[in-house]
């Protein structure tokens, strides 16, 4: 997701792996045990908006984890964060020196909050250092990267969780449960739309406008619609047709401003999805044999709400305590402490990447139907 990243130094990671191997520690890294006297220490990697305004405040409301460290390429940011949160010098890292985190017992979890192209390299480096990994969405640039991240965390015996905060939100969880109970009969069709109008007059150097760094609407907002289609059906899509468009070519050069895609699921269920940086979109609706239900907005930091054809309502929660991000991080911390899989493991992000690969392939081919690789 977010931030002020500098280039990844693969030689540093290789040196770290070599050091561990020389010491006979390759694959044998510090473990977080179920019984401990303190919450898990979390280091935020990248101190952009999402970390600054949402994750750091949310960590203050968690019960099972705490803000213990930061990683940034901007010394001025580090000083400000240290003053605000009392972070000691030993828990502050720059990107080049990140691998020294292997020596820091204060930090149990690394939360990767960087532009998309840096998710894989920092996940690999964190896993090699023996730290559990929480990674923002989208998980990676493609399914191959996502698979490498899963394999690295498994090799080093650390957990990997993906930051799909909506799956920790109560109304979203209620909709996910309907995929199992089917109170309105067989599911027929889904609409999932996520987007906003933005970037007028914006700096052109933002990573969201740079294809090489994982920019474009599909990566940034489209994963909300894609993931929602999957959790609303409780199934995996088998094929997709997709088209991309750009209405403001002076802004969107080489990345999609809008992506429309139609997912095909088993048993004839379809999902019409749209994402955009040019339109405000925020709807999830399920049409069934005997009724319907929807959330609007379905992805928001608070106020997710909806209704169903039988009169039931999914009431909005405003000013929720804890916030979605606090719920997410506490749940993921408990999964580590209790030695069980997280609600949203790396495999969930990988399945989205399989679909994303097919969506981009279909769009490049002018909307040709593309089958999605099976998980």
Q: Would you list the domain boundaries of the chain?
A: 10-158, 166-318+345-371
CA atoms within 13 A on the CB side of 318: 0
Cβ distance 350 to 375 under 8 Å? yes
Architecture of domain 166-318+345-371: 2-Layer Sandwich (3.30)
Place of tokens 């999957």: 230
pLDDT digits (tens, 9 = 90+) for 232-244: 999 999 999 999 9
pLDDT digits (tens, 9 = 90+) for 290-332: 999 999 999 999 999 999 999 999 998 777 667 899 999 999 9
Query: What pLDDT shows up at residue 38?
Result: 84
pLDDT digits (tens, 9 = 90+) for 264-301: 999 999 999 999 999 999 999 999 999 999 999 999 99
Query: What pLDDT shows up at residue 22?
Result: 38
CA–centroid distance for 192 within its chain: 17
From 1.10.1040.10, 3.40.50.720, 3.40.640.10, 3.90.79.10, which CATH number describes the 10-158 domain? 3.40.50.720
Lowest mean pLDDT among 18-27, 276-285, 334-343: 18-27
DSSP conformation letters of 64-125: SEEEEEEE-S-HHHHHHHHHHH---GGGEE-STTGGGGGG-TT--EEEE-S-GGGHHHHHHH
Cis peptide before 41 (omega within 30 of 0): no
Q: Phi-psi category of 255—alpha, beta or left, where left has phi over 0 and alpha has psi -120 to 50?
A: beta
pTM given for the model: 0.89
Whether the pLDDT of residue 339 is over 90: the answer is: yes
CA distance 55 to 51: 5
Query: Which is nearest to 255 in space by CA: 269, 242, 244?
Result: 244
pLDDT class of 150 with cuts at 50, 70, 90: very high
pLDDT class of 202 with cuts at 50, 70, 90: low
Q: Which contiguous run of DSSP H or E holds residue 329?
A: helix 324-337
Whether the pLDDT of residue 12 is over 60: the answer is: no
Q: Which residue(s) pair with 242 in the sheet?
A: 261
The mean of the pLDDT values for the chain is: 91
pLDDT digits (tens, 9 = 90+) for 31-78: 444 445 689 999 999 999 999 999 999 999 999 999 999 999 999 999
Cis peptide before 351 (omega within 30 of 0): no
Give the CA distances from residue 28 to residues 36, 125, 155, 316, in Å, rounded to whole numbers and listed in that order.
Answer: 20, 15, 9, 46
CB atoms within 10 A of CB 203: 7
Q: Which residue has the higher pLDDT, 117 or 25?
A: 117
Query: Which is nearest to 5 in space by CA: 145, 196, 136?
Result: 136
Q: What is the mean pLDDT of residues 10-20?
A: 43
199's tokens: 């970037």
CA distance 299 to 251: 25
């Amino acid at each position: 997701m977010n931030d002020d990243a500098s280039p990844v130094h693969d030689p540093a990671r290789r040196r770290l792996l070599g050091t561990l191997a020389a010491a006979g520690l390759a694959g044998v890294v510090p473990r977080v045990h179920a019984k401990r006297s303190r919450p898990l220490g979390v280091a935020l990697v990248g101190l952009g908006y999402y970390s600054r305004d949402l994750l750091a405040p949310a960590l203050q409301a968690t019960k099972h984890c705490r803000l213990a460290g930061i990683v940034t390429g901007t010394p001025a940011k580090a000083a400000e964060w240290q003053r605000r949160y009392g972070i000691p010098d030993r828990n502050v890292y720059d990107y080049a020196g990140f691998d020294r985190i292997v020596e820091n017992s204060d930090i149990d979890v690394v939360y990767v909050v960087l532009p998309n192209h840096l998710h894989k390299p920092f996940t690999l480096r964190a896993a090699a250092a023996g730290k559990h990994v929480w990674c923002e969405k989208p998980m990676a640039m493609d399914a191959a990267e996502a698979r490498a991240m899963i394999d690295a965390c498994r090799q080093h015996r650390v957990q990997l969780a993906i930051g799909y905060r909506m799956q920790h939100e109560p109304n979203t969880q209620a909709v996910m449960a309907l995929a199992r109970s089917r109170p309105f009969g067989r599911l027929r069709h889904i609409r999932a739309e996520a987007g906003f109008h933005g970037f007028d007059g914006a700096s052109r150097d933002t990573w969201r406008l740079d294809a090489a760094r994982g920019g474009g609407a599909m990566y940034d907002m489209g994963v909300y619609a894609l993931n929602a289609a999957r959790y609303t059906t409780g199934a995996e899509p088998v094929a997709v047709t997709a088209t991309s468009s750009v209405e403001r070519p002076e802004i969107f050069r080489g990345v999609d401003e809008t992506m429309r895609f139609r997912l095909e699921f088993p048993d004839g269920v379809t999902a019409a999805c749209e994402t955009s940086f040019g339109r405000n979109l925020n709807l999830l609706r399920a049409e069934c044999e005997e009724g319907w239900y929807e959330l609007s907005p379905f992805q928001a930091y608070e106020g997710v709400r909806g209704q169903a054809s039988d009169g039931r309502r999914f009431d909005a929660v405003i000013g929720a305590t804890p916030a979605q991000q606090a719920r997410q991080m506490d749940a993921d911390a408990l999964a580590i402490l209790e030695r069980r899989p997280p609600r949203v493991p790396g495999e969930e992000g990988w399945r989205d990447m399989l679909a994303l690969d097919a969506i981009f392939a279909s769009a490049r081919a002018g909307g040709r139907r593309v089958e999605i690789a099976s998980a």
